[in-house]
């Protein structure tokens, strides 16, 4: 009797354990799979058009029946996931299992932009009416944005390093667009995110392919459900860029070119695999450091640049210089270069505001086809006789 | 060997070491130019590679001359400060002369158009204006430190005072930077962290006379400096015009320190290390001997620091300030540890 009693107890205990385990696994699995499940491959009632990322390896957009997911990766070959956003149309329940995502309701109603790249994107997408704050008025070139500033419809919140967090929180934007270098702890918007501000970070400035950098317009458009418009804009930029690149490829001679100028005793030249180097290649120029395989910049001494670029045909992207006389005013030794003697010096500061904010870094990012046309006009003027410079200018001979 | 004879030998060796380090400095650089190439540039420029001519004539020679001037000027400035304050740790960088000079430059470059200081100093980014501003900034800071120094008697407290004044000036500078335009800021930044290599022939036309005048003036003050070293009362009893001497030291020190800062940016530790090396080398305290020797040792040390900064070889060079600190800071530590007076500064001396 005693023996069977013990057996029964054991049985009960085992049953109880089995019950508990199955309960746990049931709740755990229901937590994982329950709620509104995201489905892929159906025609979504929310999204007629979809954005496909073609050039950039640093972000992707996925479409589901009632959600979009944007993922941002480090721009290096490791391609580590750094940010992920779950974009939901208004009224759709939050699916469970997306705790690690920032959840953003689309279309976003208002936006703060902390870098000029977004101003160009937003203007192209006709979204300036959503813009409620920028980092610093002095950086703004867009006439439309300046107008909005005058009408006091846009306010200032300070640059990333000096961000007025209290002001951002009190403005309570639908979204804050900023840039990151790929390290969430260093990029430091945790405080904003903790306080309920939705922050979207791009690494577009780290893209090395010119079209990949322009493609970040799709990243911005996704938050505003502007898929159709973004596709139209990007496709035409892509079409014109590739056409121009083919045209430049027909040039027989490739003039040699170097860039920048000495800065605090060092001369920073873009690496051979960088954004600037690829643009120069596409424009049919022979960049002096093209064989270098760095995507960053090369830190050189003046004499090293002199050694390599002494006889270069062209000299471009030169600080704040406007006139030939500025070249030697900053350093008389600059007169030694052949490009100075032939006065073949061009700068990308044709459109600047009174504070030195350069349009090249604003609309030039999306208008990369026009930037390329400017460069081709510099190196091969006969290929584009009709084109007028927009971002570039020849230094005035005075 | 008698001391004077021994010192003569040392002086001769140093005198030979100067052109030797000058030549080595000109030969070395981030672009490799073979020995024959340099000789060709110097003695047969018609047939030499034009790129090498430019590199040697426009970069390496002015840079080496600047190193000599900076080393000499900062070291003598340091010696003057050490005698003036009778403090072995005094030097232009620590006493805030460099920061004062920087502020002078910042006022000229960053507030151009706004306050019109730029106009006052004749023209945009004018090197003469910038140099004048740096020297005035240096003299004013030094006077301020000297004025406050009368209230303190401890060697170390003086340094803390210099540091504090440096901090105040630094923050005024960052406020100025905050309110300046991008273009002016870039102009200032380009100036701000300079090195010997930023100086061009045109700048040397200003720097050479200023430094030489400062060195000669210091030499002429040798006798009074010697008296000052023995104590204020003794100097007075010997008929020295203490007020005049003090004023002259401040003006000369501010000008030497300020002018170098204007062209090379702040360079640390040369001013403190060289007088001590020299005093140990020659074992003398007579400024008639000390001033030329300190200038010589300073010039050689600056050249050696510049040579070391080329050492990584190939593409990269070290900032010269890192090299001077690496050599100078241990010397300062050694001074603090070896001199009882500093190590055990009483609270109320």
Query: Token pair of A71, please?
Result: 């993922």
Closest-CA residue of B relative to A306 is B51
Which residues does A309 contact at the CB level (< 8 Å), separation at least 6?
A256, A258, A288, A315, A337, A339
Determine the 3-state secondary structure of B46 from DSSP: coil
Beta-carbon separation of A300 and B315 below 8 A: yes
Residue A111 contacts residue A91 (beta carbons within 8 Å): no
Beta-carbon separation of B51 and A304 below 8 A: no
ipTM exceeds 0.85, yes or no: no
Domain residue ranges in chain B: 3-343
Beta partners for residue A73, in sequence order: A81
**Residue B233: which of B339, B86, B88, B87 has the closest Cα?**
B86
CA distances from A349 to A207, A319, A354, A357 (A): 21, 9, 12, 9
Beta-carbon separation of A303 and B125 below 8 A: no
Considering only the beta carbons, identify the residue of B30, B58, B181 that sits closest to A301: B30
Beta-carbon separation of A356 and B182 below 8 A: yes
Beta-carbon separation of B58 and A263 below 8 A: no
Q: What are the strands, taking DSSP E only, across chain B?
A: none
Beta-carbon separation of B194 and A301 below 8 A: no
Considering only the beta carbons, identify the residue of B50, B51, B197 that sits closest to A265: B197
User: In the predicted model, what is the mean pLDDT of residues B225-254?
Assistant: 84
Put simply, the chain B residues between 252 and 291 with a CB less than 8 A from any chain A CB are: none
Closest-CA residue of B relative to A331 is B200
**Residue-wise pLDDT tens digits, A260-275:** 998 777 889 999 999 9
Residue B280: the pLDDT is 87
Query: Is B51 part of the contact surface with chain A (CB cutoff 8 Å)?
Result: yes
pLDDT confidence bin for B164, thresholds 50/70/90: confident
d(CA A380, CA A263): 29
Cα distance from B159 to chain A (closest Cα, Å)? Answer: 29
Beta-carbon separation of B29 and A301 below 8 A: yes
Beta-carbon separation of B198 and A301 below 8 A: no
Chain A contact probe: residue of B27, B114, B123, B186 with most A CBs at under 10 A: B186
Q: Which long-range contacts (CB under 8 A, 24 or more apart) does A23-29 make?
A: none
Residue B339, pLDDT above cutoff 80:
no
Give the sheet arrangement for strand A297-300, strand by strand. Answer: A262-263, A266-270, A297-300
Q: Could you tell me which residue, A31 or B23, shows the higher pLDDT? A: B23
Query: Is B202 part of the contact surface with chain A (CB cutoff 8 Å)?
Result: yes
In order of start, what are the domains of chain A with their CATH numbers?
Answer: 59-228 (3.40.50.1980), 250-394 (3.40.50.1980)
Chain B neighbors of A331, CB-CB under 8 A: 200
Beta-carbon separation of A303 and B50 below 8 A: no
Closest-CA residue of B relative to A264 is B190
**Residue-wise pLDDT tens digits, B68-111:** 999 999 999 999 999 998 888 888 888 888 889 888 888 887 77
Considering only the beta carbons, identify the residue of A138, A263, A332 that sits closest to B200: A332
Topology of the domain comprising B3-343: ABC transporter involved in vitamin B12 uptake, BtuC (1.10.3470)
DSSP B30: S
Q: Among A18-27, A119-128, A313-322, B47-56, which is the least confidently predicted range? A: A18-27
Residue A35: the pLDDT is 47
Query: Is B190 part of the contact surface with chain A (CB cutoff 8 Å)?
Result: yes
* A·B CB contacts under 8 A: 69
Q: Could you tell me which residue, B233 or A186, shows the higher pLDDT? A: B233
**Residue B187: which of A315, A321, A269, A324 has the closest Cα?**
A321
Residue B121: the pLDDT is 44
**Residue-wise pLDDT tens digits, A372-389:** 999 999 999 999 999 999
Chain B neighbors of A327, CB-CB under 8 A: none
Cα distance from A304 to chain B (closest Cα, Å)? Answer: 6
User: In the predicted model, what is the mean pLDDT of residues B271-298?
Assistant: 92
Residue A232: the pLDDT is 96
Residue B239: the pLDDT is 74
**Residue B96: which of B83, B73, B77, B121 has the closest Cα?**
B77
Beta partners for residue A89, in sequence order: A106
DSSP B122: S
Query: Is A300 part of the contact surface with chain B (CB cutoff 8 Å)?
Result: yes
Which residues does B145 contact at the CB level (< 8 Å), separation at least 6?
B95, B96, B158, B161, B162, B165
H/E stretch holding B26: helix B3-27
Beta-carbon separation of A307 and B51 below 8 A: yes
Query: Is A304 part of the contact surface with chain B (CB cutoff 8 Å)?
Result: yes
The CA angle B332-B334-B336, to the nearest 5 degrees, is 70
Cα distance from B149 to chain A (closest Cα, Å)? Answer: 35
d(CA A188, CA A174): 19
d(CA B192, CA B186): 10
Q: Could you tell me which residue, A255 or A83, shows the higher pLDDT? A: A255
**Residue A153: which of A139, A172, A178, A133 has the closest Cα?**
A133
Q: Among A86-90, B15-19, B117-121, which is the least confidently predicted range? A: B117-121
H/E stretch holding B298: helix B287-309
d(CA A118, CA A366): 10
Tell me the three-class secondary structure of chain A, residue by residue: CHHHHHHHHHHHHHHHHHHHHHHHHHHHHHHHHCCCCCCCCCCCCCCCCCCCCCCCCCEEEEECCCCEEEEEECCCCCCCEEEEEEEEECCCCCCCCCCCCEEEEECCCCEEECCHHHHHHHHHCCCHHHEEEECCHHHCCCHHHHHHHHCCCCEECCCHHHCCHHHHHHHCCCEEEEECCCCHHHHCCHHHHHCCCCEEEECHHHCCCHHHHHCCHHHHHHHCCCHHHHHHHHHHHHHHHHHHHHHHHCCCCCCEEEECCEECCEEEEECCCCHHHHHHHHCCCEECCCCCCCCCEEEECHHHHHHHHCCCCEEECCCCCCEHHHHHHHCHHHHHCHHHHCCCEEECCCCECCCCCEHHHCCCCCCHHHHHHHHHHHHCCCCCCCCCCCCCEECECC
Beta-carbon separation of B193 and A265 below 8 A: yes
Query: Is A161 part of the contact surface with chain B (CB cutoff 8 Å)?
Result: no
């Amino acid at each position: 009797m005693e023996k069977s009693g013990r057996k029964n107890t054991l049985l009960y205990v085992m049953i109880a354990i089995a019950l508990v385990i199955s309960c746990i696994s049931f709740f755990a699995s229901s937590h994982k799979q329950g709620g509104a499940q995201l489905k892929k491959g159906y025609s979504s009632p929310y999204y007629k058009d979809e954005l496909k990322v073609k050039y950039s390896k640093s972000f992707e957009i996925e479409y589901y029946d009632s959600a979009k997911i944007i993922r941002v990766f480090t721009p290096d070959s490791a391609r580590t996931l750094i940010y992920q956003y779950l974009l939901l149309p208004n009224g759709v329940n939050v699916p469970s299992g997306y705790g690690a995502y920032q959840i953003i309701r689309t279309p976003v109603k208002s936006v703060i932009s902390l870098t000029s790249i977004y101003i160009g994107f937003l203007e192209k997408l006709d979204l300036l009416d959503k813009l409620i704050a920028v980092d610093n008025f002095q950086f703004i070139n867009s006439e439309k944005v300046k107008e909005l500033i005058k009408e006091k419809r846009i306010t200032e919140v300070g640059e990333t390093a000096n961000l007025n967090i209290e002001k951002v929180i009190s403005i309570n934007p639908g979204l804050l667009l900023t840039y990151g270098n790929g390290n969430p702890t260093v990029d430091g918007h945790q405080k904003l995110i903790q306080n309920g501000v939705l922050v979207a970070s791009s690494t577009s400035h780290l893209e090395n392919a010119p079209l990949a950098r322009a493609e970040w317009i799709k990243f911005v458009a996704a938050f505003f459900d502007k898929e159709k418009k973004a596709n139209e804009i990007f496709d035409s930029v892509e079409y014109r860029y590739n056409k121009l690149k083919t045209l430049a490829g027909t040039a027989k001679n490739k003039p040699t070119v170097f860039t920048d100028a000495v800065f605090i005793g060092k001369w920073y030249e873009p690496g051979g695999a960088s954004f600037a180097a690829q643009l120069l290649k596409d424009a049919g120029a022979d960049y002096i450091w093209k064989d270098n395989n760095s995507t960053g910049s090369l830190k050189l001494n003046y004499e090293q640049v002199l050694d390599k670029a002494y006889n270069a045909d062209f000299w471009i992207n030169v600080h704040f210089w406007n006139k030939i006389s500025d070249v030697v005013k900053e350093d008389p030794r600059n007169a030694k270069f052949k490009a100075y003697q032939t006065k073949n010096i061009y700068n990308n500061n044709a459109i600047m505001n009174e504070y030195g904010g350069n349009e090249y870094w604003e609309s030039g990012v999306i208008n990369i086809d026009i930037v390329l046309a400017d460069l081709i006009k510099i190196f091969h003027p006969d290929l584009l006789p009709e084109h007028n410079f927009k971002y570039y200018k020849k230094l005035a001979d005075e | 060997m008698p001391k004077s004879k021994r010192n003569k030998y040392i002086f001769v060796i140093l005198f030979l070491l100067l052109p030797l380090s000058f030549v080595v400095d000109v030969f070395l650089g981030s672009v490799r130019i073979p020995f024959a190439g340099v000789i060709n540039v110097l003695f047969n420029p018609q047939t030499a590679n034009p790129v090498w001519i430019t590199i040697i004539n426009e970069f390496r020679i002015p840079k080496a001359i600047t190193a000599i001037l900076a080393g000499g000027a900062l070291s003598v400035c340091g010696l003057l400060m050490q005698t003036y304050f009778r403090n072995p740790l005094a030097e232009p960088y620590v006493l805030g002369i460099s920061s004062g000079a920087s502020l002078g430059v910042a006022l000229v470059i960053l507030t151009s158009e706004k306050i019109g200081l730029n106009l006052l100093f004749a023209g945009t980014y004018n090197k003469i204006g910038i140099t004048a501003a740096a020297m005035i900034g240096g003299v004013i800071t030094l006077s301020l430190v000297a004025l406050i120094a009368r209230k303190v008697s401890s060697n170390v407290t003086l340094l803390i005072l210099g540091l504090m004044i440096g901090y105040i000036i630094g923050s005024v500078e960052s406020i100025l930077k905050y309110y300046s335009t991008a273009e002016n800021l870039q102009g200032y930044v380009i100036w701000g962290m300079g090195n010997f290599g930023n100086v061009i022939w045109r700048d040397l036309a200003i720097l050479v006379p200023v430094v030489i005048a400062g060195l000669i003036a210091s030499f002429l003050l040798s006798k009074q400096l010697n008296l000052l070293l023995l104590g204020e009362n003794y100097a007075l009893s010997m008929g020295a015009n203490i007020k005049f001497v003090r004023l002259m030291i401040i003006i000369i020190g501010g000008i030497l320190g300020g002018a170098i800062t204007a062209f090379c940016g702040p360079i640390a530790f040369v001013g403190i290390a060289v007088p001590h090396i020299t005093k140990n080398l020659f074992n003398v305290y007579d400024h008639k001997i000390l001033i030329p020797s300190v200038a010589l040792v300073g010039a050689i040390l600056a050249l050696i620091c510049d040579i070391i900064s080329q050492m990584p070889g190939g593409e990269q060079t070290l900032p010269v300030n890192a090299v001077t600190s690496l050599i100078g800071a241990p010397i300062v530590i050694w001074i603090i540890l070896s001199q009882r007076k500093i190590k055990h500064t009483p609270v109320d001396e």
